[in-house]
Amino acid sequence: MKRLLLSATLFILGINAFAQISHGGEPIEWEGKSNDFQFESTPVPDRQELSQEDAINDQYKDIPYRFGVEYEVDFDSDNNGNWTALEDGTRVWRLGVSAPGALTINFDFDVYQIPEGAEIFVYDPRQRQVVGSFTKANASKNSTLGVGLLSSDKIIIEYIEPAWVTEPGYLHINKVVYGYRSVLNGLGIEEKGPFGNSGPCNIDVNCADLGLYDIQKRSVAVIVNGGGVCSGALVNNTNEDLHPYFLTANHCLSGNPSNAENWVFYFNHEIPDCGGSDDDAPTDQSVSGSTVIARNAESDFALLELDSNVPASYNVCFSGWDATDSEAAVISAYGIHHPGGDVKKICFEEDAPYHDIGTAGFVNQTWYIDQWEEGVTEGGSSGSPLFNQSGNIIGQLAGGLAACAGPVNNGQFDYYGRMGVSWDFGSTPETRLSDWLDPSGTGQLILPNSCAGAAPEDDLTLGSFSTEQFLFCSLESIDESINVVNTGSNDITSFTLSLEINGTAQDNVEWNGNLGSFQSEMIELGSIQLVEGDNTISVEVVTVNGGEDSNENGNDQSNEYLATAFAGEISFTLQFDDFPEETSWRIVDENDNILYNGGGYPDGTESYQDVFCLPGGCYSFIINDSWGDGICCQQGEGFYLIEDDEGNVLVEGGEFGETAVEPFCVDGLGTRENAILSTISVYPNPAKSFVNIHLGDVQSLDGIVVSDLLGRTVYSEVGQNVNGEIIRLETSNFGAGVYLVQIKTEFGTASRKIIIE
């Protein structure tokens, strides 16, 4: 299925009262002003047609998010509006613009030529909102100006020209935007959903455990542009002179670099406190106008130079970056963005993103995110930065299908153009970043944030574990490792890690060698014996190079596993419709842990089948269709089917919209086997010098094995015929700790965890 061609030209600019860089003052005769003059009107768009188009196009991030329809107009200070001469010789020109039924109006001066001393104000007839004054200093390099949103369907433009001006000004408006849906919370627009403009699974940036994010978020801004809403970030350069460079996606330009001339950039548009009101999100910290200085489609980047410096009062930061393009050095990532022009959000990728080629069609060099663990991105997030675990930008959002499916994310992917590719792509400064972000040719490929100071010297960051599996349907031992990265400026020659298994401290892990800056290595943690139920491994940095770690961020990491000896099998069949690439699915437990999932099926795939193990319990099968029409029966006869090991149907269907959620329960092992094994008990627990194993209804014993949490066997006994016997185990030589007792029978293995004091 192809996205629809937009039937209306897209044009979006945005602002709130007293936003953009303005110069104070107020309109002439602001108190008691009369507005009984002619208004020029725009057409009224077809809301139903726009809604149908938006339902399709909002799914895509490789085009800007639309909220307004652009109408071409021909209004100027010579032929429209009213001129008034005041007693002191001051001349005032006023023009009224009406967009009947619009939520907002904004417009574009394609000719903005006013002399020194002249001023422009824009306000609504009720005098609740006013922007300005704008002066000659607000003109772009090409003498244009984009003026942003007022939340009204009527506005008044007022130009004040002093009597002493020798060369009169001239103004021409060629575009007026009819805002038919809300963008930028905090404007006082009532027609918006309970979660603002974005889906409910998005996370407000100030609801995250900030750490690095408190600095990085200050570089990110929402762009209200000539083709839609996008996101992006200020970026530092090796001169560290706060030059106003701004990184976003090339596709936000809609193929025309001149579109950036009148873009408006809003900083700090976020809810100040977690759980606060959207109305508290500032919309009065913005700048207007920029020039594209470098871009390419290969990695979908555009580097802009803002027409003016960002005022110090905005308290922004310029983000650092990592252009090494090293997969090994990126162990986790996060994104900060403005979905749908909403307040600032954050999303987390706990695993390592990886390089991919050809994912995006026109974008060939990407960082690929399989799925976000927390939060998502949406339309309007395009161009937003992807930060690595050290808080440096490694790319900008180019596209993807990640979105909210109700209160949770849909488990889909995203992809980002890689900064390492953008750094030196092509043969001219106009296609690469290096000439601009390293203007002195230092050769640096890693630069910290302007607000963070120098990189820490001795800094070890813990990354992901080697074991990605969560559910284990046997009580086995797993060989676990953890990835570590030197994120400091010094070489690391030694470090110490503490290890804890299910709350019990183990021997420290000592390492010696040489790990250069931003090099990584997998560190073996040993064999871990899983016990029945929940298992947790925790690792923490104790020392680096014989002393303290210079940066506490990234110093602890943990992994969870669910293990059971009581598991049955289910069979899963998924028959696709004509568009398998639209389908993704997952099976989650009652705690929303993802046990199995799939998606990203290539065009032409007919079906998918598999057999999964599940412990006894209740689960949910969740299936998503990114087009919103299910897998049956409009575009093929697709279906899904889950059966237990006896052929009983647990879940089936195929007709749904965007998402179907199907709860189901399984018994795990057969009823008889479970019943027999459940009669086995171990006591006392906790124990000191002995434990009793009561075998209940078990008639034949294959053996008993006791092991510690590192999988080391401390006791074993071969099988024998038994009749509900009680077996006594002496434990005085075990040592204090947690142990796993495995009682192996003809009905399966019963596992019991015991604590020796």
Structure token digits, residue 146: 């984009």
Kindly report, residue by residue over 408-448, the tens digit of the pLDDT.
Answer: 888 888 999 999 999 999 889 999 999 999 999 999 998 98
Which class does domain 678-756 fall in?
mainly beta
pLDDT confidence of 108, banded at 50, 70, 90?
confident
Mean pLDDT of 24-47: 75
367 φ/ψ sector (left φ>0, alpha ψ -120 to 50, else beta):
beta
Q: Which residue has the tokens 């009581």?
A: 566
Q: Which residues are part of the catalytic machinery?
A: 251, 300, 382
pLDDT of residue 493: 96
Contact 742, 726 (CB under 8 A): no
Residue 36: pLDDT band (50, 70, 90) is low
For the sheet containing 594-598, what is the strand order? 594-598, 583-588, 617-625, 659-666
Both tokens assigned to 173: 């408006």
Split at pLDDT 50, 70, 90, the class of 346 is: very high
Q: What is the pLDDT of residue 543?
A: 96
At the top level of CATH, the class of 567-666 is mainly beta
DSSP state letters, 303-316 = EEEESSPPPGGG--
For the stretch 477-503, pLDDT in tens is: 899 999 888 878 789 999 999 999 998
Report the top-level CATH class of 39-179: mainly beta
Pick from 172, 196, 180, 182: which is nearest to 77 by CA? 172
Confidence of residue 184 (pLDDT cuts 50, 70, 90): low
Residues 283-295: pLDDT tens digits?
A: 788 888 899 999 9
Q: What is the pLDDT of residue 9?
A: 32
Give the mean pLDDT of 553-568. Answer: 84
What CATH architecture is 203-441?
Beta Barrel (2.40)
Domain boundaries, the chain: 39-179, 203-441, 460-563, 567-666, 678-756
Assess if CATH 3.90.1150.10 describes domain 460-563. Answer: no
Other CB atoms within 10 Å distance of the CB of residue 176: 25
Model confidence at 587: pLDDT above 80: yes
In the chain, how long is the greatest CA-to-CA distance? Answer: 115
Tell me the whole-structure pTM to 2 decimals: 0.68
Number of H helices, E strands in the chain: 5, 53
Q: 123 with 78: CB under 8 angstroms?
A: no
Who contacts 456 (Cβ-Cβ below 8 Å, separation ≥6)? 487, 488, 489, 550, 551
Query: Does 460-563 match 678-756 in CATH topology?
Result: yes
Residue 672 has pLDDT above 70, yes or no: no
What's the pLDDT score for residue 15?
Answer: 32
Rounded-to-integer distance, Cα 169 and Cα 117, Å: 11
CA distances from 107 to 126, 131, 587 (A): 19, 13, 49
Q: What is the pLDDT of residues 141-150, one digit of tens each?
A: 888 888 878 8
Task: Encode pLDDT of 217-269 as tens digits.
Answer: 999 999 988 657 899 999 999 999 999 999 999 999 988 888 888 888 989 99
